[in-house]
Amino acid sequence: MRCALSGAAQTALGVSDSAVLAHAPQGCNYLVDGAFSWQDCDYAQTTTLCTKLCEDEIVHGGEELLARTILEAKELEISALFVLSACGPEIVGDDIVAVCEDMQPQVDFKIIPIECAGFRGSQYDGIDIALEAMLRTLAANECPKIPNSVCLVAPHANANPTWIADLAWVKEVLAKLGIKVVATLTHETLLSELTNISAAEGVLQLSHDAGYKAVSYLADNFGVEPLCADVPLPIGLTNTRRWLTSLAKRFNAERIAENLIEEGERMVTETCRRRWPIARFFYRTPAAIIADATIGIPLVRFATEEMELTPALVALRSVRPEARRLLDNELNNLGIAPHVLYGTDVYATRRSLAEVRPKVVFGSTIERHASEGLDVPYVFEVVRPVRQFRMLNREYFGYRGILNLLECIQNEWSDRWRSKERRYAARW
Amino acid sequence: MAFKGTTVRGTVVKGIAMKQIAIYGKGGIGKSTVASNISAALNERGVKVMQVGCDPKRDSTRILAGGHLIPAVLEIYRDKLRQGQDAHAISLDDIIFKTSSGIYCVEAGGPEPGIGCAGRGVLTALQILKDLKAFETYEIDVAIYDVLGDVVCGGFAMPIREGFASEIYLVCSGGFMSIYAANNIARAVQRLARRGDAGLAGIICNSNGDDALERAVVPAFAERLGTAFVEFVPHSSVIQACELEGRAVVEHAPQSEEATIFRELALKVMENDTKVIPTPVEELPELEELYRKNVP
């Protein structure tokens, strides 16, 4: 998992008509480049800057250089400049907040400092830090509420690399339910949306890994109601049904939701009948789910009810208390007691896999390698599938999302039977 | 030149044994006064000395430089960077200043108070000295590093950690907090000594006026650390007057008793061939007990 600077950059780059200035050595700026791709930014439209700190700025402080770089950004046609600090400048005590305040009168755009040094935590901590800085700096005092409206929080805190499709599905469903989206924190977000965010009646958090603090801030300061907080995200048939029902109930759109559910479930069932995937061959097979909470928690029910697997290990890379409670509730509700691991890393995962010995692993390319030699026949790379190139975004949320997951599973199954060596290994 | 290449132990530079010592101690205890007077006394004996001030205040060599502050390495480095050059554009003449009596003086310098990383600055400055082969070029016999206050972070341990200094002297008075600071520094020396050649060579008492207390407490503390009590430097108006004049005692008051003390101290430092891994007191109550027990 990457550091806080990466998460803050992902968040800042989701705001349109703005630029990101990393107050960092040039190596750390690589994380900003990664975040650029994560938000699907366009090089023709979005600019990133870096102070490229060297030894002199570490010894004497880099505030002067930061001030000069902010002035250089005057040439850009932007509404906001997000100034992100990396570890080096924060360790030596650069006060980026003071520099931004000093420079504000000299520029036409809004400067938003975000103190997000890598040592402050994971990329999810960075997302929380950035969201908080944005809300504190940009959200105006209570705007008049817009009826039937929501804001969306942390869609990018999701291990699906094409999470933008998940967000698109959510927006599509909200439109069908007659719910207006006031702002998205963040993806192609206008500064005016951020300013008016308190006009939203409700807030939908699209991650179990980040965004909890932003949701609390919106609720406490602007009376924005948290929605669907106690149900997993809509991955899998049951979760999607629960999520849609919970949302529709709040906005008195139950009838529309019922139609959406009926139509969606019919589409999934008919597609499966025609294409005939082999999911039934996995009946009661011991499975491990190793993922971020956003995908991992909903996958537990998907694996148990829809795939009819038996989860033997659930290892989540993050460890938010709210996510922990949600997972506990899910496990109780499903009546299963797998081995659960929070804040896992490759070493802990490997050890747990060796202990539990599952036959199926939901994870990433990393888990494929971590499973080497452990007689794990099937590794479904549904989390950050780095071995696959995707030209188009593919959602995991909703009904098309279920088919996308089943497609991953079917391909892994077929791939295994195409290889003699792997076919023998799969004869468990 | 009785010491050169014969009785001196330490780093060998171009076949000549160079002695490298570091002076540590609580802030304001008189490290620069002691270091400068040792430098001056050694220089008087014909030893080639270089004193390196490792403090952003860059006032270590003030009394050697006639009461003036000399330009610092990092200041010059910064100027070069602003001219689009790098560390290679710095020459030894830019950063090393020879006093009229022949002592080589260097100040590392550092950031303004409250910003930047002074520890990293010390490392940068020392690295520049090393890259420019300062000690070899001037055939220095003794390098004295006068290091700021306490070992507050890894940067200030650099003279020890990177092998620049091998003999560490602690300067303290009879004040309890001064002893406490010296004990903390001894803990750093203990940790760092395992990695290299450095060791504690002794404790120098720079008196704050309570002679009886200091002559009892400081030697007992030295014994507890397992090191030597090297010298007692009295609280003296002569030393203060010399400091005010920006001159070393051996130069400004050569006939004084204090000058004799510094000459003896310099001789002991020069002739010393013992250094130890100290055994500092681990817990504060034990240090308090040690102190109370030795109060006359």
Chain segment A94-147, per-residue pLDDT in tens: 889 999 999 999 999 999 999 999 999 999 999 999 999 999 999 977 789 999
Write out pLDDT tens, residues B117-141.
Answer: 888 888 889 889 988 999 999 999 9
Q: Is A94 on the interface with B (CB under 8 A)?
A: yes
Which pLDDT score is estimated for B95? Answer: 94
Mean pLDDT across chain B: 87
Cβ contacts of B118 on chain A, cutoff 8 Å: 59
User: Are residue A234 and residue A289 in the same domain, yes or no?
Assistant: no
Domain with A101 in it: 4-138
Instruction: State which of A202, A223, A254 marks the end of a domain.
Output: A254
Q: What is the mean pLDDT of residues B13-23?
A: 72
The Cβ-side half-sphere exposure at A320, using a 13 Å CA radius, reads 22
CATH architecture of B11-294: 3-Layer(aba) Sandwich (3.40)
Residue A11 lies in a domain: yes
> Which of B:73-112 have CB within 8 Å of A?
74, 77-78, 81, 110-112
d(CA A82, CA A394) in angstroms, rounded, equals 29
A364 conformational bin, left if phi > 0, alpha if psi -120 to 50, beta if neither: beta
* Unique residue bearing structure tokens 């570091």: B22
User: Are residue A230 and residue A342 in the same domain, yes or no?
Assistant: no
Taking the CA of residue B50 and the nearest CA in chain A, the distance in Å comes to 24
d(CA A252, CA B235) in angstroms, rounded, equals 87
Q: What is the mean pLDDT of residues B79-106?
A: 90
Residue A126 lies in a domain: yes
Q: Where are the beta strands (DSSP E) in chain B?
A: 11-13, 16-25, 49-54, 97-98, 104-107, 142-147, 167-172, 199-206, 229-233
ipTM of the complex: 0.71
Residue A269 lies in a domain: no
* Residue B141 falls in the annotated catalytic set: no
pTM of the model: 0.83
3-state secondary structure chain A: CCEHHHHHHHHHCCECCEEEEEECCCCCHHHHHHHHHHCCCCCCCCEEEECCCCHHHHHHCCHHHHHHHHHHHHHCCCCEEEEEECHHHHHCCCCHHHHHHHHHHHCCCEEEEEECCHHHCEHHHHHHHHHHHHHHHHCCCCCCCCCCEEEEECCCCCCCCCHHHHHHHHHHHHHHCCCEEEEEECCCECHHHHHCHHHCCEEEECCCCCCHHHHHHHHHHHCCEEECCCCCCCCCHHHHHHHHHHHHHHCCCHHHHHHHHHHHHHHHHHHHHHHCCCHHHHCCCEEEEEECHHHHHHHHHHHHHHCCCEEEEEEECCCCHHHHHHHHHHHHHHCCCCEEEECCCHHHHHHHHHHHCCCEEEECHHHHHHCCCCCCCEEEECCCCCCCCCCCCCCCCHHHHHHHHHHHHHHHHHHHHHCHHHHHHCCC
Residue B6 has pLDDT above 60, yes or no: no
Angle at B286 between CA B283 and CA B288, to 5 degrees: 110
Which pLDDT score is estimated for A143? Answer: 84
Inter-chain touch B74–A59, beta carbons under 8 Å: yes
Sign of CA dihedral A96, A98, A103, A109: positive
Residue A359 has pLDDT above 80, yes or no: yes
Packing angle of the helix pair B73-82, B118-131 (nearest 10 deg): 80
Residue A344 lies in a domain: yes
User: Are residue A102 and residue A162 in the same domain, yes or no?
Assistant: no
Q: Which of B19, B48, B55, B57 is flagged as catalytic?
A: B57
Q: Which amino acid is at A212?
A: Y
Output the CA–CA distances (angstroms, integers) from residue A34 to A19, A39, A92, B124, in the order listed: 15, 9, 26, 32
* Residue B293 falls in the annotated catalytic set: no
User: Are residue A206 and residue A300 in the same domain, yes or no?
Assistant: no
User: Are residue A117 and residue A69 in the same domain, yes or no?
Assistant: yes
For A140, phi and psi rounded to 5 degrees? -80, 165
Residue A143 lies in a domain: no
Write out pLDDT tens, residues B258-287.
Answer: 999 999 999 999 999 899 999 999 999 999
Inter-chain touch B116–A91, beta carbons under 8 Å: no
Which pLDDT score is estimated for A117? Answer: 94
Residue A322 lies in a domain: yes
Query: For chain B, what is the largest distance between any 2 Cα atoms, rounded to a whole number of angstroms?
Result: 62
Report how many domains make up chain A. 3
The structure tokens listed for A99 are 């520099």
- Any residues with CB less than 8 A from the CB of A188 and at least 6 apart, and which? A14, A16
Which pLDDT score is estimated for A390? Answer: 75
Locate the chain B residue with the closest alpha carbon to A90. B116
Which pLDDT score is estimated for B154? Answer: 67
CB-CB contact of B184 with B151 (8 Å): yes
Which pLDDT score is estimated for B16? Answer: 47
Inter-chain touch A58–B77, beta carbons under 8 Å: no
CB-CB contact of A49 with A23 (8 Å): no
- Any residues with CB less than 8 A from the CB of A339 and at least 6 apart, and which? A312, A313, A314, A352, A355, A356
Residue A67 has pLDDT above 50, yes or no: yes
**CATH number for the domain including A33?**
3.40.50.1980
d(CA B95, CA B126) in angstroms, rounded, equals 11
Closest CA to A155 of A144, A167, A145: A167
User: Are residue A281 and residue A383 in the same domain, yes or no?
Assistant: yes
CB-CB contact of B51 with B197 (8 Å): no
Inter-chain touch A59–B112, beta carbons under 8 Å: no
The structure tokens listed for A300 are 């537990």
Estimate the share of chain B in helix, then strand, then coil, as percent rounded to the nearest 5: 45, 15, 40
The structure tokens listed for A166 are 């998940």
CB-CB contact of A204 with A167 (8 Å): no
The structure tokens listed for A366 are 């990393």
Residue A220 has pLDDT above 50, yes or no: yes
Q: Is B33 on the interface with A (CB under 8 A)?
A: no
d(CA A255, CA A33) in angstroms, rounded, equals 44
Which pLDDT score is estimated for B151? Answer: 64
Which pLDDT score is estimated for A389? Answer: 72
User: Are residue A8 and residue A130 in the same domain, yes or no?
Assistant: yes
Write out pLDDT tens, residues A6-62.
Answer: 999 999 999 999 999 999 999 999 999 989 989 998 888 889 999 999 988 998 899
Which pLDDT score is estimated for A11? Answer: 97
* Residue B130 falls in the annotated catalytic set: no
* Lowest-pLDDT range of A113-127, A330-344, A367-381, B6-20: B6-20
User: Are residue A126 and residue A184 in the same domain, yes or no?
Assistant: no
Structural domain spans, chain B: 11-294
Q: What is the mean pLDDT of residues A249-270?
A: 96
* Unique residue bearing structure tokens 């330009």: B71
Closest CA to B147 of B38, B53, B69: B53
Q: What is the mean pLDDT of residues A224-233?
A: 96
Q: DSSP class of residue B68?
A: P
Inter-chain touch B77–A60, beta carbons under 8 Å: no
d(CA B23, CA B36) in angstroms, rounded, equals 11
d(CA A287, CA A305) in angstroms, rounded, equals 13
Residue A268 lies in a domain: no
More confident site: B159 or A76: A76
Q: Is A90 on the interface with B (CB under 8 A)?
A: no
Which pLDDT score is estimated for B94? Answer: 92
Which pLDDT score is estimated for A424? Answer: 63
Cβ contacts of B74 on chain A, cutoff 8 Å: 59-60
The structure tokens listed for B45 are 């004996």
CB-CB contact of B140 with B176 (8 Å): no
Locate the chain B residue with the closest alpha carbon to A93. B115
Q: What is the mean pLDDT of residues A282-286?
A: 86
Closest CA to B176 of B98, B282, B291, B87: B291
Q: DSSP class of residue B276?
A: B
Give the rounded percent of residues in chain A with a pLDDT score beyond 70.
95
Closest CA to B200 of B223, B247, B167, B165: B167
User: Are residue A399 and residue A297 in the same domain, yes or no?
Assistant: yes
Best A52, A53, A58, A60 residue to mutate vs chain B (most B CBs within 10 Å):
A60
Residue A8 lies in a domain: yes
* Unique residue bearing structure tokens 């540590």: B24
Inter-chain touch B110–A56, beta carbons under 8 Å: no
Q: Is B135 on the interface with A (CB under 8 A)?
A: no
Instruction: State which of A83, A104, A138 marks the end of a domain.
Output: A138
Please provide the size of chain A in residues: 428
d(CA B51, CA B269) in angstroms, rounded, equals 14
User: Are residue A124 and residue A153 in the same domain, yes or no?
Assistant: no
User: Are residue A132 and residue A171 in the same domain, yes or no?
Assistant: no
Q: Is A55 on the interface with B (CB under 8 A)?
A: yes
Indicate the pLDDT class of residue B69, thresholds 50, 70 and 90: very high
Q: DSSP class of residue B170?
A: E
Please provide the size of chain B in residues: 296
Name residue A111's beta-bridge partners.
A81
More confident site: A90 or B2: A90
Residue B24 has pLDDT above 60, yes or no: yes
Residue A317 has pLDDT above 70, yes or no: yes
Which pLDDT score is estimated for A386? Answer: 62
Write out pLDDT tens, residues B184-201.
Answer: 999 888 887 776 788 999
Taking the CA of residue B5 and the nearest CA in chain A, the distance in Å comes to 37
Instruction: State which of A138, A159, A190 marks the end of a domain.
Output: A138
d(CA A150, CA A109) in angstroms, rounded, equals 27
User: Are residue A379 and residue A284 in the same domain, yes or no?
Assistant: yes
Best B120, B122, B127 residue to mutate vs chain A (most A CBs within 10 Å):
B120
Q: Is B117 on the interface with A (CB under 8 A)?
A: yes
Best A54, A59, A95 residue to mutate vs chain B (most B CBs within 10 Å):
A59
